[in-house]
A and B are shown apart, each in its own frame.
Chain A
């Protein structure tokens, strides 16, 4: 079964720290991988999309990497701020992109001022 796992489920860091969120997936034959942010009571906002042929993508203080051979992706957040507090979800597309996204359960991040 194709599954996505995110560990830890929750993380608390002091403001200013650099941090890494982890995502692992079964079956390395992915089509793409997407990182989302979800604020409490809100919908999902797309942060970064990494295609299977790419190793990383960057947007501002965010950097997402992809290692298909080990079945892992990481989301690096530089110089964390209280406004980064949210749940971060990883989602994978398999089967040449012709099936829906499969989500991990997310990591709830708290950045303490």
Chain B
């Protein structure tokens, strides 16, 4: 039972490059999320998708785009990476509106130089 799978685990980008972080869950959850985690800032929500076909901005959406490809997959795209986007990115899934746990992937450590 894989749970939430993120790829890649590590990535180094040059300023201005683009990349897509992939996330897939196998728990049939309707809701998926992207957070970033920075020292002293905690976990901050970038975007979320309450259900297939919908996406909404979170606390820090600038510089990012998302795609809910299907019920299983939710990708995060950086169109033109900036050093301020150096962070650890976490994908999560849950049943929004249900009294069940949220599950997290192992994270992607991104460095923008």
Contact = CB atoms under 8 A, between A and B. Distances in A.
B96 to A, nearest CB: 6
A75 interface: no
B99 A100 contact: no
B74 interface: no
A31 interface: yes
Interface of B: 4, 31, 33, 35, 40-43, 45, 48, 50, 58, 90, 92, 94, 96-107, 109
Which size bracket describes the interface of A in this complex? 20 to 34
Given A43-B90, A44-B90, A49 B97 contact: no
A44 B97 CA distance: 21
A64 interface: no
B99 A97 contact: yes
Contacts of B107: 41-43
A101 B92 CA distance: 10
A100 B35 CA distance: 10
Contacts of B42: 89, 103-106
A97 B97 contact: yes
10 contacts: A34-B101, A43-B90, A45-B104, A49-B100, A49-B101, A89-B42, A91-B43, A101-B92, A103-B35, A106-B42
Contacts of B96: 97-100
A27 B21 CA distance: 34
A48 B31 CA distance: 20
B58 to A, nearest CB: 7
Nearest to B33: A100
Contacts of A49: 99-101
A49 B55 CA distance: 25
